[in-house]
A and B are shown apart, each in its own frame.
Chain A
Amino acid sequence: MLNIEKATDADIITYKLEGRLDTATAPDLEEEVKGISEDTKELIFDFKNLEYISSAGLRVLLSAQKIMNKQGEMKVINVNETIMEIFEVTGFTDILTIE
């Protein structure tokens, strides 16, 4: 169960995620992220309604971060406590820009 809502504003793309970013749903987001155009300067993930994330989700975030490292910026916003802990134990707090 994952709802992905995509909003494009010029060269900024925002993904609002709702549900769970787990093994079953991560491929959907991966598909999305792969299709990001090279002109995208900023990529925002809004986790306001995301319940939790598993390593499969982290993998997607990591590959998105790798893409954006080349062409712009990426940030993750509205991260809940559970997800924040996951980011902390996996060292993702150092890799991602979390606001």
Chain B
Amino acid sequence: MSQKDDSKKGIFTQFRRVFQTDETFHETQVQANRLGTAVMIASGIILAIILGLNTADIFKMDSSVVFAPLVQGIIETAVVSVICIFLRFDKAWLKWILVIAMALVYARLDGIFTHKAWILMVIPVIFSARYFSRKLTVFASSITSGLFFLSALWGSQNGLFDLNLVSLPSGTQMVTEGGFLDQAVFDTGFNRADIMWDTIIYNYIPKWMLFFLVTLISLNIARRGRDMVLRQHERDKENARIESELELARRIQADMLVDEFPESTIENPYEIYASMTPAKEVGGDFYDFFDIDETHLGLVIADVSGKGIPAAMFMTRAMAIIKGSARPGCLPEDVLAEANNRLCENNDEEMFVTAWFGILDKAAGRLTAANAGHEYPVIKQGGDVFVQLKDKHGFVLGGMENAKYKGYEILTKPGDCIFLYTDGLPEAESPEKEFFGMERIIETLNKEPGETPEKIIANMTGAVRSFTGDEPQFDDLTMLCLKVYGKVCPTQDSKDSIEYDEKDMTNENEGSETISGADTLVIAARNENIDLVTGHISKSLKGSGCPDKVRDQINIAADEIFSNIANYAYSPGEGEAAVNVKLDENKKQICITFTDKGKKFNPFEADDPDVSLSADERGIGGLGIFMVKRIMDEVKYEYKDGQNILKIYKSF
């Protein structure tokens, strides 16, 4: 609020201020009110004790004088305390009440005990400093010194008598009849007006000087306290701003990482999944994958030195540079070499990044890669076992100009899988300060080696979580997994490629929009790939509530059809098959379409085998297709555009 507004609103505003507090001081005020209430209660108890001691004749004061002030004081402390507690200490005006009440109660005690209890006058002032308000401290000081002046006057006549102030004419003789000395003094005809004057001069004024100093100190405390609270408040606001900026930075970083993972299709016969969990709000790890051209997929996993904001800033640069260095036709080692040189420019802070970069040639099923000081990949090749791939490491990116990198090549088979990670994974720590380690990584991968990338990463995340327990995550944790399902045949050679027509694959009974769970697997038609086909079907059926028995029957049918394609369609050569799985929208019927480019084969033209022959008479030909027809609800065959299209339907 501007000064102009302030003066406009004038007295009323000023007055209202008494009842309101700046939000900044709200907490201070409530705490101070609480303290004041405690002081009030303690004072009330002290007054009660004094009253008790006097009644029991241990304190020998004139009851007719002290009784009324003590009882008033007790009532006052009680009333104020109850008000404060009732209002939960949460009213701005309570501070004024507390200060006034304290000054009143102690002034009364001072009136009774006179010079013996004067020190009580500093309490309201010191207490007022707790509010960090100079205005209040000035107020407390004024009202206290005023009330104590009055109590000094009253006390000089009614309270305990300060014999030091008594000067009697020489030769005065006093006779006591027991009792107090002051009574004897009064009996000599001592001038009461003199004692009042002396009390002010010798008692009140010196003490007031000391009181004045206490007031100055309290004012200073109040001001410093106020500054401190204001500064703390500024800092809190600043912290909140930084926090919200960090949160935004975290979201921006998370948005930079691709989080939509493509389903495998005939053009992209692979599956990919990745995750990145930073240790702080933002991190220096990243992964990336992108199409370099129609048939080449670039894959990156990288780890920037350090953590937090500096690492995150360098990460954005590294990510852009690596992606920018990957151009059609280039080799992974060249990409890393170029990225390294560009990262070395203007890198005075000497940040660096370890990176693994791979290029999947989707047409050839070939993965080429190079490693710039990054963790060894783990790979499953042509079997069911993940092993560490000890590839040759080049120097980290951004470390030294003109570093050279060495590329290598992996020819993938359908089902092959590569798992990449950052050091946050092997170096995840258990509460016993043990590392998760390479052995556990490979062990975890090999528990379910045939799973999808998504499940593989979920399994790994689960394993690390249960290993680290409640230990805070120390380093960023990032994983990337690629599984290859086959290769795409070059489109220019259309004779060999399977033309996968999306419309053709839909279930004609329903509009194509209503079909859910469409998913196609394209793989080499070989008998050893049958597990990939059944795995693909099982994945599509997951969560559909399909009974195990029906699933087994579907698997049997798939086995028969796929092995037929594998053994006969392209014989003696080799070819591919596309397996498309669709569930109807109610997930009550499955339709699997097998497409191949092999020899025309209509299963309906083959005669059913004679199943009544004895073992020795029986051959096995045609049995597979016969079984499919018997255990599936419906089988449809079509030969179109040089493709065998076989569909099986099963409800469950």
A interface with B by C-beta (< 8 Å): 1, 20, 22-24, 51-56, 58-59, 62, 65-66, 69, 81-82, 85-86, 89-91, 94-95
CA A91 – CA B552 in complex, angstroms? 19
Which of B555, B559, B566, B627 is close to A90, meaning CB atoms less than 8 Å apart?
A: B627
CB closest residue in chain A, given B531: A24
* Cβ distance A34 to chain B, nearest Cβ, rounded Å: 16
Question: Does the CB pair A22–B530 fall under 8 Å?
Answer: yes
Best-buried of B530, B549, B559, B566 by chain A (most CB within 10 Å): B559
Given A66-B615, A86-B627, A95-B615, verify A53-B556 contact (CB < 8 Å). Answer: yes
**Among the listed A1, A52, A95, which residue makes an inter-chain contact with B618, where contact means beta carbons less than 8 Å apart?**
A95
Cα-based distance from A53 to B131 in the complex (angstroms):
85
Closest to B550 in A: A82
Q: Which residues of B contact A (CB under 8 A)?
A: 527-528, 530-531, 534, 549, 552-553, 555-556, 559-560, 562-563, 566, 611-616, 618, 620, 623-624, 626-627, 630-631
- Bound CA–CA A23/B531 (angstroms): 9
Between A23, A54, A59, the greatest number of chain B beta carbons within 10 A of the residue's beta carbon is seen for: A23
Nearest chain B CB to A49 CB, angstrom units: 13
Closest to A53 in B: B556
Shortest CB distance A68–B (Å): 9
- Beta-carbon contact of A23 and B615 below 8 Å: no
CB neighbours of B614 from chain A (8 A): 94-95
Bound-complex Cα distance A39 to B614 (A): 24
Given contacts A65-B615, A89-B630, A94-B612, contact A56 B549 (CB under 8 A): no
Give 30 A-B contacts (CB < 8 Å), ordered by A residue: A1-B531, A20-B534, A20-B555, A22-B556, A23-B566, A52-B555, A53-B556, A54-B563, A55-B620, A55-B623, A55-B627, A56-B559, A56-B624, A59-B620, A62-B618, A65-B615, A66-B616, A82-B549, A82-B556, A85-B553, A85-B631, A86-B631, A89-B611, A89-B627, A89-B630, A90-B623, A91-B611, A91-B612, A91-B613, A95-B615
What are the 5 closest A-B residue pairs judged by CB atoms, nearest first? A91-B611, A23-B563, A55-B624, A54-B559, A89-B630
Whole-angstrom distance between the Cβ of A94 and the nearest chain B Cβ: 7
Q: Please tell me which one of the listed residues A54, A58, A81, A91 contacts residue B549 in the complex, with CB atoms under 8 A apart.
A: A81
Q: Chain A at the B interface: mostly helix, strand, loop or mixed?
A: helix
| Known contacts A62-B615, A81-B549; 20 further A-B pairs (Cβ under 8 A) | A20-B534, A20-B555, A23-B559, A24-B527, A24-B530, A51-B552, A52-B556, A54-B563, A54-B627, A55-B560, A55-B620, A56-B563, A56-B624, A66-B615, A69-B616, A82-B556, A89-B626, A90-B623, A91-B613, A94-B612
Cβ-defined partner of A58 (8 Å) among B527, B555, B616, B623? B623
In the bound assembly, the distance between CA atoms of A58 and B611 in angstroms comes to 12
Q: B534 — which chain A residues lie within 8 A by C-beta?
A: 20, 22
Nearest-CB distance from A74 to chain B (Å)? 10
Residues of the B chain whose Cβ atoms lie less than 8 Å from the Cβ of A54: 556, 559-560, 563, 624, 627
- Nearest-neighbour CB distance to chain A for B559, whole angstroms, equals 4
In whole angstroms, how far apart are the Cα atoms of A16 and B367 in the complex? 40
Residues in A neighbouring B553, C-beta threshold 8 A: 52, 82, 85
Contacts of A24 in B (CB 8 A): 527-528, 530-531
Most B Cβ at <10 Å: residue of A53, A65, A81, A91: A91
Expressed in whole angstroms, the Cα–Cα distance for A56 and B623 within the complex equals 9
* A52 to B548 CA separation, bound complex (whole angstroms): 11
Among residues of A, the one whose C-beta sits closest to the C-beta of B619 is A62
A53–B620 alpha-carbon span in the complex (Å)? 14
- Docked complex Cα distance between A54 and B563 (Å): 10
Complex Cα distance, B552 from A65, in Å, reads: 25
Choose one: A1, A20, A56, A69; the contact of B615 (CB below 8 Å): A69
Select from chain A the residue with minimum beta-carbon distance to B626.
A90
CB–CB B612/A23 < 8 A = no
**Bound-state Cα–Cα, A59 to B623, Å:** 9
Q: Which residues of A contact B630 (CB under 8 A)?
A: 89
What's the Cα separation between A52 and B611 when bound, in Å? 20
Task: For B531, list chain A residues within 8 Å (CB).
Answer: 1, 24
Which of chain B's residues have a CB closer than 8 A to the CB of A62? 615, 618, 620
Q: Which B residues are in CB contact (< 8 Å) with A56?
A: 559, 563, 624
Within 8 Å CB of B626, what residues of A?
Answer: 89-90
Q: What is the bound-complex CA distance between A28 and B613, given in angstroms? A: 26
Q: How far is the CA of A54 from the CA of B554 in the complex (A)?
A: 11
Residue of A54, A65, A66, A94 contacting most chain B CB atoms (<10 Å): A54
- Complex Cα distance, B527 from A61, in Å, reads 19
**Nearest A residue (CB) for B555:** A52
The CA-CA distance from A58 to B627 in the complex, in Å, is 11
How many Å lie between the Cα of A94 and that of B560 in the bound state? 22
* Residues of chain A contacted by B527 (CB below 8 angstroms): 23-24
Select from chain A the residue with minimum beta-carbon distance to B613: A91
A24 to B562, CA, bound (A): 11
- Contact status of A90 and B615, CB under 8 A, knowing A23-B530, A54-B624, A55-B620: no
B627 contacts across to A, CB distance below 8 A: 54-55, 86, 89-90
B residues within 8 A CB of A58?
Answer: 620, 623
* Complex interface: chain A residues within 8 A of B528 (CB): 24
**Bound-complex Cα distance A22 to B559 (A):** 7
A82/B624 contact (C-beta < 8 A), A24-B528, A69-B616, A95-B615 known: no
Is the pair A90, B549 in contact by a Cβ cutoff of 8 Å? no
CB atoms of B552 and A82 under 8 A apart? yes
Q: State A56–B567 Cα separation when bound (angstroms).
A: 12
